[in-house]
Structure 1
Amino acid sequence: MAEQTAPRATTNRSTTPGSDTFKDYISSGWAERPETLPEAREQAPFAADRRARLSALHTGRRLVVPAGQAKVRSNDCDFPFRAHSAFSHLTGWGSDTVPGSVLVLEPSGDGHEATLYFRASAGRDSDEFYANPEIGEFWIGPRPTLAQVGADLGLATRDLADLEAVVAGADGDTLVVRDADAELTRRLDEVTASEPASVVAERAERGDDLARDLSELRLVKDAYEVAQMRRAVDATGRGFDDVVADLDEIVAHERGERLVEGTFNRRARADGNTVGYDTIAASGDHACVLHWTRNDGVVAPGDLILVDAGIELESLYTADITRTLPVSGRFTDVQRLVYEAVLEAADAAFAVVRPGIAFREVHATAMRVIAERTAEWGFLPGTAAESLEPDAQWHRRYMVHGTSHHLGIDVHDCAAARRDLYLDGLLEPGMVFTIEPGLYFQSDDLTVPEEFRGVGVRIEDDVLVTADGAENLSVGIPRTTAEVEAWLARR
């Protein structure tokens, strides 16, 4: 087998012996490895059904769905690899995906034949396994064989080297998920660059259609996905329990927000793959910064701390939950007033969820409560009804974000779906999304009384649409003022 050199190997500091004597010695004396084939994983039939639905939308077109490559963090150190969501959704391969893998759906009759191309395990007659720090077994562990992955995922498999024939045969009917693997996309574009401009433009448009269709396939979750969402929410609940249990230590540290992040991340690695997104641990007026992820502040008694966090499972499905806690254990009068207004908005939004309503109605319902409460407190230059008019929206000063987004294998799932199926779409059983209203009064906002300034509250739950209504998957994580105060008192 030809020598395999790591593209980013640091040859100036390498001490790996290169003599034939050493190569012969390190290649010998290894026990045989029996090739045990696993049973197909639970999600394999669900992934096959997803591929069939995608196939029906793109008859006669070759579809290329890459897992993507590892991304550089600094120099020769990479971020932990995570496969592209569309690839995992269509293959069932999650956190154990081999980087650089590619799923190809080749037209066949009225459908497609699916083949998974990946870099299979190298033999000990290669120097890859000891001399290549990017992919060698001594460095990152062994890779599975073609037969093992084929049995595991219920897919035909081929070595990644065979993908060259697919690239060489690309034409106007070859579509690729363009944001998954920049280098593979560039190579496919080069092969077809000589085609007429109209063909190139049409292929680009079809590529957008492919990304759209892959997002829209995930709008309604199948039974496997719903079960994964339940597990992710349960694990996330345990992460919040850990934060509450560690609160005294967190308060005592000069960067207590970092301890919140670390405590939650420990649970994410213990019970899942990792966090689904950067944890927000926002204490005091940091809670008014919607995506506060620096997490370098104190957690002070008397303040609220807003924790927005979710655990991603090995399948890559993630929860997304927010709880706002009074650090001292009890809400002040102002904190309680704001918190209960947000909770009222969340409960009102949940109450309207059922099949057949427009997704945007969830947000509109929450906003009616936010407008009514901020008007009642005298914060608006007019009435709640006036503020709800499209050309006013004064209440949105205190909540500029949306109330809901779809959730699943991405924290903001189905992002490329068409507006008329997402924001303007009708709810269907099996949809999973967040309900997350909030109120944020910046520390220098002169439109509110001083005692409100620096108070930020968000309550976020993960909701499943059922046949006749909805289920709050995260309702078991304390959310009312009484539940939260009792939760903190038990630590």
Structure 2
Amino acid sequence: MNQTEQSSVHPDPTTLQPLEERVNNRSHRPDSDAFRAFMAANWAPASTELPARAEVADHAARRRRAISEQFKGERLVIPAGALKVRSNDCDYRFRPHSAFAHLTGLGVDHEPDAVLVMEPVADGAGDDGGHHHASLYFRPLAGRDTKQFYADSRSGEFWIGPRPTLAEFRALLGLDTVDISALEVAITKNVGEPSVGGVSVRLVRKVDENIDALVDTARYNTAVDPESVDLSALDALDAKLAEALSELRLVKDAWEVEQMKMAVAATAAGFADIIKALPRAVSHRRGERVVEGAFFARAREEGNELGYDTIAAAGNNATILHWTRNTGTVTAGELLLVDAGVEADSLYTADVTRTIPVNGTYSPVQRTIYQAVLDAADAAYAVAQPGRKFRDVHNAAMEVLAARLEEWGFLPVPAAEALSVDGQQHRRWMPHGTSHHLGLDVHDCAQARAELYLDGVITEGMIFTIEPGLYFKAEDLAIPAEFRGHGVRIEDDILITAEGPVNLSAALPRTPDDVEAWMARLSG
């Protein structure tokens, strides 16, 4: 090989184009002085009218005040998160971290890289009489006289549309809003061990790796003895903040309850769309995708997104708990289990499951299974009362299901023995929990302590699911053949009030007769 050939195979690394710039190789972007001057001229002036204060602003302020009470004297850093690449230069649709959304009131998709910083001040001298002053660090809209306006496909207004200005966010949220260029100093200034006059920092980790690195570097650089920094202690410091933020969401305020009602109403409309789409689903080779698509259209029309990937599971696929491939057929005579939820623009999501007969009528065996699950759900609902333990809801459902499985002769032991800690044989056909908290995350408050979650006391303002099921796989030889290949789950979203539970998703039929009548009405 001659020298020329060799250099073409192994080019000089000093002449290589940086990787981060290569995604733009397909574009022909002008960059002349004349073009820049022309792009900056002759635009209508931006409106200076500021929005009214959002209804959520006062609720978010109370949430920040509650967190301030728990972490006096410490700087709290809550990132929204960064854009994530889906493919090459295409990003996933942005959704901020739930803790950030909860404390700011912001939803939708216009604050990537933003960070909420709660700066400690003298006791009682902070926002609303608290112990911190909160600031939202945000990338402001680039002026039309900047190159970013037309050349930055991730954040330029020409590409993605306008973003609120700092002044608009300040008016909307009642929250001090600062250019993100000041963020590094805000996070790292006077960080150090309190014993030597420094400020301790707590961070919601694994949301934005750049912020993680910034906080970690500041901690190491200001440690009295960097070589002996206790990483586990720092992790525990941050985990305690995540725990507190999760527990703060266990009880919803009035604004959150209204958002949940909106999400559930949109979800109910999406289930009606599914019924109307069933004929096309039955005729399509991937009918489950037809079902999934019908619901997704409703989620995008009325909300921000899906709250989670839709489960559209027909036949034996309904026995797969998290079947989200949705590649199967939908066949008359089978059951169709759909677990789906619309996420509102505020990011609060519903989580509802219905199991329907594809042909509009339950077979005798299908109705038997369905009625057992419905009875379990009703038993769980009956004990979902203020003052009861959260785990009582699950236990009530299990007692009903174990009794039915014993009655049908499926259990190798009596139901009472199966329900014991050393038994649990009934869980072969009902392996998941009956309830989980619901809100900004479909599995909300998941980092709360067990004594406040599983062993917590049911309290007015809580919203959680009740979702028992029975799943009899086609290959399960422990049961009669006629039961195999059927999966049933019924899931509703429950609000706890002072008077007892309220089923937010009750507009969707639940009994076998009501489901059949509903399907006939929508199909007619």
TM-score by length of 2: 0.91
Show the 5 A alignment for 1:224-303. Answer: 224-303=255-334
Establish whether residue 167 from structure 1 lines up as the match of residue 194 from structure 2.
Answer: no
- Tell me which moved more, 243-252 or 417-426: 243-252
1:250-290: per-residue Cα shift (whole Å, max 9, x none)? 11111110010100000001111111000000000000000
Look up the match of 1:32: 45
Tell me, in whole angstroms, the C-alpha distance in 1 between the residues paired with 2:446 and 2:258.
22
Structure 2 unaligned runs (5+)?
Answer: 1-17, 124-130, 194-199
Give the aligned residue type for 1:389: S
Distance 1:312 1:328, change over 3 A: same
Look up the match of 1:78: 91
SS of residue in 1 equivalent to 2:25: helix
SS of residue in 1 equivalent to 2:355: strand
Do the aligned partners of 2:188 and 2:214 also contact (CA within 8 Å) in 1?
no
Tell me, in whole angstroms, the C-alpha distance in 2 between the residues paired with 1:438 and 1:181.
37
Tell me, in whole angstroms, the C-alpha distance in 1 between the residues paired with 2:24 and 2:287.
42
Tell me, in whole angstroms, the C-alpha distance in 2 between the residues paired with 1:352 and 1:228.
25
Do the aligned partners of 1:6 and 1:132 also contact (CA within 8 Å) in 2?
no
| Aligned-residue offset at 1:14 | 2.5
Establish whether residue 471 from structure 1 lines up as the match of residue 471 from structure 2.
Answer: no
Do the aligned partners of 2:94 and 2:109 also contact (CA within 8 Å) in 1?
no
SS of residue in 1 equivalent to 2:487: strand
Establish whether residue 391 from structure 1 lines up as the match of residue 422 from structure 2.
Answer: yes
Large movers: runs of 4+ above 3 Å: 5-9, 196-203
SS of residue in 2 equivalent to 1:192: helix
Establish whether residue 366 from structure 1 lines up as the match of residue 401 from structure 2.
Answer: no
| Aligned-residue offset at 1:322 | 0.1
| Aligned-residue offset at 1:198 | 5.0
Aligned residues with identical type, % of pairs: 55
| Aligned-residue offset at 1:200 | 5.2
| Aligned-residue offset at 1:40 | 1.0
| Aligned-residue offset at 1:201 | 4.4
| Aligned-residue offset at 1:454 | 0.5
Give the aligned residue type for 1:180: V
Q: 1:18 aligns with which of 31, 36, 39?
A: 31
Greater gyration radius: 2
Look up the match of 1:138: 158
| Aligned-residue offset at 1:13 | 2.1
Count of residue correspondences = 487
Give the aligned residue type for 1:289: I
Give the aligned residue type for 2:386: P
Q: 1:182 aligns with which of 209, 222, 231?
A: 209
| Aligned-residue offset at 1:143 | 1.5
Give the aligned residue type for 2:495: L
- Tell me which moved more, 348-357 or 196-205: 196-205
Structure 1 unaligned runs (5+)?
Answer: none
Look up the match of 2:251: 220
Establish whether residue 94 from structure 1 lines up as the match of residue 114 from structure 2.
Answer: no
Do the aligned partners of 1:6 and 1:133 also contact (CA within 8 Å) in 2?
no
Tell me, in whole angstroms, the C-alpha distance in 2 between the residues paired with 1:232 and 1:49.
23
SS of residue in 2 equivalent to 1:299: coil
Give the aligned residue type for 1:171: G
Look up the match of 2:3: none
Look up the match of 1:353: 384
| Aligned-residue offset at 1:389 | 1.1
Tell me, in whole angstroms, the C-alpha distance in 1 between the residues paired with 2:414 and 2:265.
41
Do the aligned partners of 2:108 and 2:304 also contact (CA within 8 Å) in 1?
yes
SS of residue in 2 equivalent to 1:175: strand
Tell me, in whole angstroms, the C-alpha distance in 1 between the residues paired with 2:40 and 2:20.
22
Do the aligned partners of 1:9 and 1:133 also contact (CA within 8 Å) in 2?
no
